[in-house]
Every structure is written in structure tokens, then in C-alpha cells.
Amino acid sequence: MFLAVLFFLITLVFIFLRPWNLSLWIISLIGAFFVYFFKLVNWNDIVFIFDLVWGSSLTLLALMILSFALEILGFFDFIARKILDYSKNKNEKISTKKLMLFLLVFVFFITAFLGNDGAILIITPIVIAIFSTFKNLKDSIIINTFLLSVSFLCDASSNTLVISNLTNLITANYFNLDFLEFAKNMFLPSLFVLFSTLFIVCFVFLRSLPCYLEIKLAKEVKFSTSFFLFCICYLILFVLSFFIAQIYQWDKSLIALCESLFFWFIAYRIKKREALRVIKHAPWGIFIFSFGLYIVVFALHKCGVGEILSNLYQNLKYNEINSIFGTGFISALLSSIFNNLPMTLIGDLALKDFPKDMVYAHLLGVNIGSKLTPIGSLATLFWLELLTKRGIKISFLKYCKFSFFITLPVLFFSFLGLILK
């Protein structure tokens, strides 16, 4: 077990620190090589993991291509401008609470349809653009509050649909959860997440901010209402295709990739240079990254970590409330320490013969609880890297202070929603 734990921890540290600016997929691949070289996993294990993650990673890639194609066409800038317009009062002043409310609802829906990783990479530049004229310390507090709030909901609301998070995709594949079953079980918890987040942010964190803001967007958005409606219809059809694929047992990941590439072709016809840049900079390494990381994690499972978790779950499963709250909080705590991707696989393997409600509680834990620390989710790591490139720094202490006061109550209400579903 010592070697498996050592390679896992070294891989995680390298992922968080990114020494020599190494790509994430290179780091995970090196970790996978070492656990295979030391015979902690065998070839059959690798085939099993490949079968488990390839479709999920392909779907995530499709979602991100679709997201970036929408972005270059100005879809999200158009929505951002409309949000600002609707946030104004009769005196043409922008209400802070209205702006936050509309932004968070916007985040909730794009996360549901396009996944948390794509959503956080899209919404962050929009928020920065909205507050681009803010310069002083007081203004930075406003910007940070908005950034932390939308970042939290990008992960916290990624329980809505199977496609909303890579963790959902992998878990649904492993437990054969169909698209509709997943949506029905997660509908009420997702609503509880949205409303509890809105309440905490608007009535706790915004109390220290001014009631009105002066915001001017320098960038003009050229985007017709008719094309906006076309994009909305395309997104709806994109989601419906998952239901159709479920009925006819088609490969959902390949359908998603074809649909995203078709929409990219539309973007290419309109903005050729920007569309080519999307393909060039698309996160093609995400497949190798998740594959390599899960090989490292599977070595932990084979060395007995999964058995320890199974024994914990065994003591919880006889009472519905204990099983949901206990499983969820275990996944939340371990995700915040060791990242939610490793915890997803270890938890899935440990929960193989347990009630499905414990599986959903596990997902709520890894998707929401991972926000307790800045190292808890891949989307947060992407987000922090993006902020650094834009010259914005959010300290570890500031992040944890915000996350602690919002993550735990939102987690509680999400578990309550799962019980009441």
C-alpha cells in the first residue's frame, strides 16, 4: 500500500504545483507509468479503466468544444449584456443583488447544459469583462465576491444532468444510470443547491457591498436575437439527443462529439480564424489526463483503500438519513483534500453493491464538497490559473473563508433534497 499511496500523493502534488509548467496529462501519464512499472496495476486493470473513462472524457471534450464555439460567436457576451440591462432600476443604476441573482441563474443553466469545466472557463472572462473598469481595493472586493460566487455555483450546480460534470459521466457509466433517471433523482437536490446558494450569497455576502454599481461595458456585442434563439434551440436539441441515445442505446459520447463539431463548423463559417483557434487550443489532453489519473487511483483501490471505504459505508446503509448524510460528507471531506476526480473513482468502486441513493449522495459530496478548498476540483484549478493570467489573485485563506461558510449549508440542503425527492 505504501507505494500506491506515495505515487498517488506525488502525482497530486505535481498536478497542483505544475513544476516546469508541465501539462496535466503528462503528469498523470507519468504517474500511471510508475504504478504500472511497479506492478501495482496490470493490463486487465488498464483495459477496465479505459472502458470506464473514454466515453466520459469524449463527452466532456465535446461539451467544451461546443462551449467555446458559442463563446466566439458572442452568445455569452450577448447574455451578459442582457443581464446588465435587466439589473438596472428606474434610475438606470445597476442593482448589485439583481446582477448577482441573474449571473448565478445564468451559471446554473450553462453548467447544467455545458458542464462545470466549460462553464467556469466561460463565465470567468465575462465577469472580469463586466468589472473591467474597476481599479481600487474596494472594487476588488466586489470583483472577488462575484468571482467566488459564480465559481462556487459552477461546481455546486453540476449535479443537474449527467453531462454537467465529468464525475457524473463516469459514475453514470459505471452504475448504468440512464440520463432520465439521473435527472429525476438530482432535480430536487439541484433546486435546493440553487436556492440555498442564492440566499446565502445575496443575503450574507452582499451585505458588505454597495447596493448599486456603476458599470459600463466597453465591448459592443453584435449578435442578433434570431441567432440567439437558434443557439438556444440547438442546446435543447443537444440535451434531448442524450435521451434519444438512451432509448436506442446509441453511443452518447460520439453523438455529442458529432453535434459539437457540427456547431463548430457553423462557427467556422462565421468566424474562421477564431474557430480554428478553438480546435487548436481545445483540451485534447483531458482524455489522457483522466485516464492516467484513474490508473494511479485504481492502484490505491487494489491496495485496500476501497475496502476501508466500503466498511464505512456498510455501517451507514441501514438508515436512509445516515447513509445519505454520512456518504455525502465523507466524499465531500476527502474530495476537498485529495481532489474530486480520484475520490469519484474510489467512491464508485466502493459503492458497487450499495443503494443508489448513496451513489447520488456520493456525487453531491464530490461535486459540492470539493469547493471547501481550492485544490478540490479540476474546474477550480482551471479557474485559479485563468485568474492568475488575468492578474487577479485570491489567497488560500480568502478562498477557504468564503467556501467554508457557503459549502457546508449548501451541502446540507442538497442532501435534504435527495431525501425528499
| Residue 131 DSSP symbol | T
Distance CA 360, CA 227 (A): 37
Type of residue at 267? A
Give the burial string for 260-287 (b: 16+ CB within 10 Å, else e): beebbebbbeebeeebeebeeebbebbb
CB-CB contact of 55 with 285 (8 Å): no
Percentage of the chain with pLDDT > 70? Answer: 96
Task: Point out which residues pair with 212 in neighbouring strands.
Answer: 95
Type of residue at 331? S
Distance CA 48, CA 57 (A): 15
For residue 176, pLDDT over 50 is answered with yes
Distance CA 376, CA 330 (A): 14
Dihedral-angle region of residue 105 (phi above 0 means left; psi in -120 to 50 means alpha; beta otherwise) = alpha
Grid cell at residue 177: 444510470
Distance CA 365, CA 351 (A): 14
Grid cell at residue 35: 504504478
Q: What residues contact residue 286 under an 8 Å CB cut-off, 6+ apart?
A: 25, 57, 60, 61, 64
For residue 397, pLDDT over 80 is answered with yes
Grid cell at residue 294: 484513474
Distance CA 80, CA 93 (A): 16
For residue 403, pLDDT over 80 is answered with yes
Question: What's the pLDDT at 282?
Answer: 66
For residue 143, pLDDT over 70 is answered with yes
What is the separation, in whole angstroms, between the first and last Cα of the chain?
A: 40
For residue 84, pLDDT over 70 is answered with yes
Question: What's the pLDDT at 137?
Answer: 46
Distance CA 67, CA 69 (A): 5
Distance CA 206, CA 286 (A): 36
**Helices marked H in 208-271:** 225-248, 252-270
Q: β-pairing, 212-213 with 94-95? A: antiparallel
- Higher pLDDT: 398 or 414? It is 414
Report residue 184's pLDDT band, with 50, 70 and 90 as the boundaries. very high
Percentage of the chain with pLDDT > 90? Answer: 31
Q: In degrees to the nearest 10, what's the CA dihedral of 153, 156, 159, 165?
A: 80
Taking alpha carbons only, the member of 39, 45, 153 closest to residue 101 is 153
Q: Where does residue 39 rank: exposed (0-12), middle (13-18), buried (19+ CB within 10 A)?
A: exposed
| Mean confidence (pLDDT) of the chain | 86
The alpha carbon dihedral of 129, 79, 146, 111 has a sign of negative
For residue 383, pLDDT over 70 is answered with yes
Grid cell at residue 338: 485529495
What 3-state DSSP class applies to 176? coil
